[in-house]
């Protein structure tokens, strides 16, 4: 009875401490933080979608339109909406309260993990100070907030990752208890909480998978003895999380995410970089990299390095001669510390697109727990100088003191500027309010410590005034940032370009053989459907000033400019069509980013010679007949790998015989063929003459200001094509199109978000249900 009172009192004390320390989340005002504002916008987007019981949405607010919640799972946004429905609070309070709930959940997860893996036989007088010290030490972390760790990371907007880490620790705890007891209730809870983790955060789900793999290695004998149980767990998890996993795996090529890692990869050095280099060269011939790398490891003899690596891990397991749970917790901590420093995964699996430095949060969670245990053992050795219990109490008090006095640095609000700047900003807001609603605006983003320079500020401001943002925040949600950030090199090179591949710019720069270099970026913006630009720096003003034929300044107050992009009236040219040899041969379409890179490389060269044309990816929708191709495209750009030159030319001749002009990309054309050309030095002249002689009265193609995504369907059934920018191309369509996402998984995800937490809480009842028992 006395111990229960002590436990309840401890929980009550910790709860009051959290309420005092993190009361900023309970003010009922719109939250601030580096990424927090963006998550708040997404929560509002989810609220609109959830009204029709959908958990996937097409949002026009960022990137000119993007598929929301396909690449960023929606559980946290679902949680905030549930709070706003069942509690009499406004939505900003529900959002902040959702963040606040993560803190006690994460504290519980730390205590649960400690109790299961480390302290299961310690007396209560030892457990309580160790629990409290571990929790408060973790929440007192004072490193870089953008690393995504602890309370300071949550302040910067990584609270969804923190929520997922709480689920990760709880999931591992259920897995470990099941290993020890074979309790069916623990197995069910492991399945449900692991599935919920996948519905919460993909990156932490990847870390969870690695943590479970470590559990398998450390406790491999038990896993092999009970393989039937463990395999059924993962089959169930895959089934329950199928819709969100399918979204990511199926459509991740329509995102701009890249692998983050800037440290030299030590593991790659151990395995042999020579084998890696050979495999990387093989990818230029179209070979799968992972297959080529495994082959080279075997052929080069470097596979022995892999064997020695496993030997090293085995030695570590033998060396860490603690109880099994402690051994696992130690390996868990060291592994994720290593992962946060090493970027080998990004080299070996380039499509993984993870931020490896975020693994430090997992490592720091482990360190926060094990470091206290290490201090406990030191106190045992020094017990003749200081009783162990008092030593733990003093350690807790010092940690409590640090927690109380530590204050995470808050991100400055948009009003933390001079009064003069605030006046100009207020005037700019009034001018934005006058722009036509729904207009696509391209903001200048620079990287400084001032909030109004950030993508977070402009993203919120434009949406507030009913304007669409050509950029946005979560670049892993759209391909357009890759395109835009590369094109910004041609006039706005000072801007902040984050989180994506910006290597195309050098390829495009080498294509500029004409003298119209100042027109490259304005022309790209026109292809994107941009109507207005905003900016406030001297380089932006110079960019506009020297291109007075492309831009018109509508408003200026202090440093702030609002600029209209001018669209000259020109003779309509039919677009060029794009096909690849792989599509003609086996219906294997090129990846969407490859099409964008190739088409914009073509356009960079043509625009430099004042040739205006659009390019449509003919592989992205239903096939056009040969007669349709002849009537509705000016050229067919045919991409052919040099290995298949003769076959590619054969396809080109078949099109030429039907009167279709073909421009070969990657291979030379037959000499003196009037219909088949290649990318030779005189191609611009040939294209210009052909376009001039073409008699086009009306262009049957319409380009609509919304991003292409394969699950978008038009209500009347017309085909939607990917264009050379972030616009949908439609042939013989009306002035407006009515599109919506066609995937049936949206409501499936909603049901999963509702039922997974409910079933988790009801797991004791489920365990007693006959048909849900493990056989």
Helix 242-251 to helix 745-761 angle (10° resolution) is 140
Of 335, 336, 329, the closest CA to residue 358 belongs to 336
Question: Which of 496, 504, 509, 510 has its CA nearest to residue 539?
Answer: 496
Average pLDDT over residues 75-104: 94
Q: How far apart (Å, rounded) are the C-alpha atoms in residues 739 and 45? A: 17
**170 burial type by CB count under 10 A (0-12 exposed, 13-18 middle, 19+ buried):** buried
**Position with higher pLDDT, 734 vs 118:** 118
Joined together, the tokens standing for residue 102 give 């993560």
Q: Token digits for 519?
A: 């027109």
Confidence label for 719 from pLDDT (cuts 50, 70 and 90): confident
More confident site: 257 or 329: 329
SS3 157: coil
For residue 266, the surrounding DSSP H or E stretch is helix 266-271
Tell me the C-alpha distance between 204 and 214, whole Å. 15
DSSP-H helix ranges across 342-465: 344-348, 359-381, 388-405, 419-434, 455-464
What is the pLDDT confidence band of residue 568, given thresholds at 50, 70 and 90?
Answer: confident
CA-wise closest residue to 530 among 484, 485, 477: 484
Q: For position 736, what pLDDT does the model report?
A: 80
Compute the C-alpha angle 505/511/516, nearest 5°.
Answer: 95
> Of 105, 104, 103, 100, whose CA–CA distance to 83 is shortest?
100
> Strand 712-714 vs strand 701-704: parallel, antiparallel, or unpaired?
unpaired
| DSSP secondary structure, 508-537, as one string | HHTT--SS-GGGHHHHHHHHTT--EEEE-S
- 672-677 LR contacts (CB < 8 Å, sep 24+): 676/649, 676/652
Average pLDDT over residues 238-265: 78
**What sign has the CA pseudo-torsion 14, 20, 24, 29?**
positive
- At residue 412, does pLDDT exceed 50? no
The C-alpha atoms of residue 253 and residue 71 are separated, in whole angstroms, by: 11
Mean pLDDT of 394-423: 71
Contacts of 192 (CB under 8 A, 6+ apart): 240, 756, 759, 760, 763
Highest average pLDDT, of 99-108, 358-367, 513-522, 689-698, comes from 99-108
Sort residue 410 into left (φ over 0), alpha (ψ -120 to 50) or beta: beta
pLDDT of 451 over the 80 cut: no
Per-residue pLDDT at 388 exceeds 80? no
Residue range 375-403: mean pLDDT, rounded? 73
The more confidently predicted of residues 476 and 751 is 751
Q: Could you tell me what percent of the chain has a pLDDT over 70?
A: 86
Query: For residue 223, with 0-12 CB atoms within 10 Å meaning exposed, 13-18 middle and 19 or more buried, which class applies?
Result: middle
Residue 45 has pLDDT above 90, yes or no: yes
Query: H or E segment at 185?
Result: helix 184-198
Helix and strand numbers (H, E) in the chain are 33, 17
Q: How distant, in Å, are the alpha carbons of 365, 669, 685 from that of 690?
A: 65, 17, 9
User: In the structure, what pLDDT confidence band is assigned to residue 284 with cuts at 50, 70 and 90?
Assistant: low
Greatest pairwise CA separation for the chain in angstroms = 99
8-state DSSP, 556:
E
Distance between CA atoms of residues 439 and 423, nearest Å: 24
Distance CA 623, CA 659 (A): 18
DSSP for 107-168 reads HHHHHHHHHHHT-TTS-HHHHHHHHHHHHHHHHT--S-GGG--HHHHHHTT-HHHHHHHHHH
Pairing mode, if any, of strands 721-723 and 615-617?
Answer: antiparallel
Distance CA 621, CA 263 (A): 41
Bridge partners (DSSP) of residue 739 are: 714
Residue for token pair 């979608």: 49
Contacts 24+ apart (CB under 8 A), 375-379: 376/126, 376/130
Instruction: Give mean pLDDT, residues 272-278.
Output: 71
Phi, psi of 665, deg, nearest 5: -115, 120
Consecutive H or E run containing 616: strand 615-617
Q: Is 388 left (phi over 0), alpha (psi -120 to 50) or beta?
A: alpha
Q: What is residue 315's predicted lDDT score, i.e. its pLDDT?
A: 46
Best CA proximity match to 454, nearest among 416, 423, 426:
416
pLDDT attached to residue 145:
61
SS3 state of residue 678: strand
Contacts of 97 (CB under 8 A, 6+ apart): 25, 26, 80, 83, 87, 89
Arithmetic mean of pLDDT, 613-637: 85
Higher pLDDT, 297 or 537: 537
SS3 349: coil
The SS3 assignment for 698 reads coil
Distance CA 49, CA 19 (A): 32
Residue 594 has pLDDT above 70, yes or no: yes
Q: How confident is the model at residue 415 (pLDDT cuts 50, 70, 90)?
A: very low
Going by pLDDT thresholds of 50, 70 and 90, the confidence category of residue 15 is: confident
For the ranges 37-41, 406-410, 599-603, 688-692, the maximum mean pLDDT occurs at 599-603
Q: Is 3 left (phi over 0), alpha (psi -120 to 50) or beta?
A: alpha
User: Would the pLDDT of 696 be above 80?
Assistant: no
Average pLDDT in the 602-609 region?
Answer: 91
- What does the pLDDT average to over 647-662? 90
State residue 771's pLDDT score: 47
Beta pairing partners, 723: 616
Q: Which value, in Å, is the radius of gyration of the alpha carbons in the chain?
A: 29
Least confidently predicted of 210-224, 489-503, 666-680: 489-503
CA distances from 233 to 102, 125, 229, 599 (A): 26, 36, 6, 46
For 554, the 3-state DSSP assignment is: strand
Q: CB under 8 Å to 591, separation ≥6 — which residues?
A: 253
| C-beta of residue 348 within 8 angstroms of C-beta of residue 293 | yes
At residue 174, φ and ψ (nearest 5 deg) are -65, -40
Residue 354 or 640, more confident: 640
Q: Would you place residue 319 in the very low, low, confident or very high pLDDT band (cuts 50, 70, 90)?
A: very low
Tell me: the pLDDT tens digits for 105-164?
999 999 999 889 887 677 777 888 888 888 988 888 776 666 677 788 888 888 999 999
DSSP string, 44-93: HHHHHHHTTT-S-EEESSSTTSEEETSSS--HHHHHHHHHHHHSS--HHH
How far, in Å, CA of 176 to CA of 117, rounded? 8
- For the chain, give the mean pLDDT: 83
Q: Are residues 479 and 593 in contact, defined by beta-carbon separation less than 8 angstroms?
A: yes
At residue 212, φ and ψ (nearest 5 deg) are -65, -40
Q: CA 315, CA 335: separation in Å to the nearest integer?
A: 14
Phi-psi region of 182 (alpha: psi -120 to 50; beta: other; left: phi over 0): left
d(CA 412, CA 121): 47
> How many CB atoms sit inside 10 A of residue 774's CB?
13
Pair type for strands 576-580 and 615-617: parallel
Rounded Cα–Cα distance for residues 38 and 44 (Å): 10
Structure tokens at 629: 């191709």
Does position 775 have pLDDT exceeding 50, yes or no?
Answer: no
Instruction: In whole angstroms, give the CA distance from residue 392 to residue 386.
Output: 10
Q: What span, in angstroms and rounded, lies between the C-alpha atoms of 74 and 752?
A: 11
């Amino acid at each position: 009875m006395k111990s229960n009172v002590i436990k309840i009192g401890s929980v009550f004390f910790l709860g009051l401490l959290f309420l005092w320390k993190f009361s900023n989340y309970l003010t009922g005002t719109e939250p601030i933080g580096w990424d927090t504002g963006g998550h708040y916008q997404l929560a509002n987007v989810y609220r609109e979608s959830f009204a029709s019981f959908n958990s996937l949405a097409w949002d026009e607010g960022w990137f000119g339109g993007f598929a929301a919640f396909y690449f960023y799972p929606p559980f946290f946004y679902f949680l905030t909406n549930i709070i706003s429905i069942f509690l009499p609070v406004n939505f900003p309070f529900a959002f902040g309260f959702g963040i606040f709930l993560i803190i006690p959940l994460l504290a519980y997860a730390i205590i649960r993990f400690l109790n299961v893996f480390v302290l299961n036989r310690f007396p209560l007088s030892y457990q309580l100070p160790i629990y409290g010290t571990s929790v408060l030490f973790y929440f007192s972390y004072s490193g870089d907030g953008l690393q995504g760790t602890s309370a300071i990371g949550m302040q910067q907007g990584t609270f969804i990752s923190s929520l997922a880490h709480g689920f990760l620790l709880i999931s591992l705890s259920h897995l470990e208890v099941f290993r020890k007891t074979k309790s069916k209730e623990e197995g069910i809870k492991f399945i449900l909480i692991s599935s919920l983790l996948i519905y919460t955060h993909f990156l932490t789900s990847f870390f969870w998978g690695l943590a479970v793999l470590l559990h398998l290695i450390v406790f491999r004998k038990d896993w092999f003895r009970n393989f039937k149980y463990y395999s059924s767990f993962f089959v169930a998890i895959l089934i329950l999380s199928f819709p969100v996993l399918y979204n990511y795996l199926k459509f991740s090529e329509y995102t701009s995410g890249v692998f983050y890692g800037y440290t030299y990869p030590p593991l790659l050095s151990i395995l042999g970089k020579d084998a890696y280099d050979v495999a990387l060269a093989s990818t230029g011939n179209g070979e799968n990299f992972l297959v080529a790398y495994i082959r080279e490891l075997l052929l080069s003899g470097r596979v022995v390095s892999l064997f020695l690596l496993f030997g090293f891990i085995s030695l570590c397991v033998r060396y860490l001669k603690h109880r099994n749970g402690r051994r696992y917790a130690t390996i868990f901590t060291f592994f994720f510390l290593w992962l946060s420093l090493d970027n080998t995964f990004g080299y070996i699996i380039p499509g993984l697109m993870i931020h490896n430095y975020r693994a430090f949060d997992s490592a720091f969670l482990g360190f926060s727990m094990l470091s206290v245990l290490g201090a406990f053992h030191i106190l045992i050795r020094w017990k003749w100088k200081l009783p162990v219990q008092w030593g733990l109490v003093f350690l807790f008090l010092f940690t409590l003191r640090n927690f109380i006095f530590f204050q995470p640095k808050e991100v400055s609000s948009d009003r933390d500027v001079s009064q003069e700047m605030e006046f100009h900003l207020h005037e700019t807001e009034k001018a934005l309010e006058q722009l036509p609603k729904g207009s696509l605006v391209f903001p200048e983003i620079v990287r400084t410590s001032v909030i109004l320079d950030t993508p977070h500020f402009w993203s919120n401001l434009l949406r507030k005034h009913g304007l669409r943002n050509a950029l946005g925040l979560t670049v892993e949600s759209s391909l357009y940032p890759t395109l835009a950030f590369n094109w910004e090199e041609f006039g706005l090179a000072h801007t902040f370009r984050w989180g994506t591949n910006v290597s195309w710019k050098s390829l495009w720069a080498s294509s500029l053989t004409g003298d119209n270099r100042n027109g490259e970026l304005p022309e790209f913006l026109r292809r994107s459907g941009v109507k207005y630009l905003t900016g406030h720096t001297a380089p932006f003003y110079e960019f506009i000033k020297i291109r007075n034929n492309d831009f018109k300044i509508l408003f200026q107050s202090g440093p702030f400019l609002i600029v209209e992009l001018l669209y000259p009236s020109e003779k309509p040219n039919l677009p060029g069509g794009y096909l690849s040899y792989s599509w003609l041969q086996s219906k294997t379409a090129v990846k969407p980013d490859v099409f964008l890179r190739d088409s914009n490389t073509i356009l960079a060269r043509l625009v430099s010679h004042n040739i205006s044309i659009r390019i449509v990816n003919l592989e992205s929708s239903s096939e056009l007949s040969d007669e349709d191709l002849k009537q509705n495209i000016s050229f067919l750009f045919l991409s052919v790998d040099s290995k298949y030159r003769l076959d590619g030319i054969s396809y080109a001749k078949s099109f030429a015989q039907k009167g279709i002009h073909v421009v070969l990309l990657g291979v030379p054309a037959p000499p003196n063929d009037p219909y088949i050309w290649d990318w030779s030095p005189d191609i611009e002249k040939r294209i210009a003459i052909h376009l001039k002689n073409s008699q086009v009265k009306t262009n049957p193609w319409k380009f609509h200001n919304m991003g292409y995504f394969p699950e978008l369907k038009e209500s009347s059934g017309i085909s939607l094509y990917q264009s050379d920018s972030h616009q949908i191309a439609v042939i013989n369509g009306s002035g407006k199109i009515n599109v919506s996402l066609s995937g049936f998984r949206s409501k499936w995800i909603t049901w999963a978000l509702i039922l997974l937490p409910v079933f988790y809480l009801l797991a004791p009842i489920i365990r007693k249900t006959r048909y849900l028992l493990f056989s």
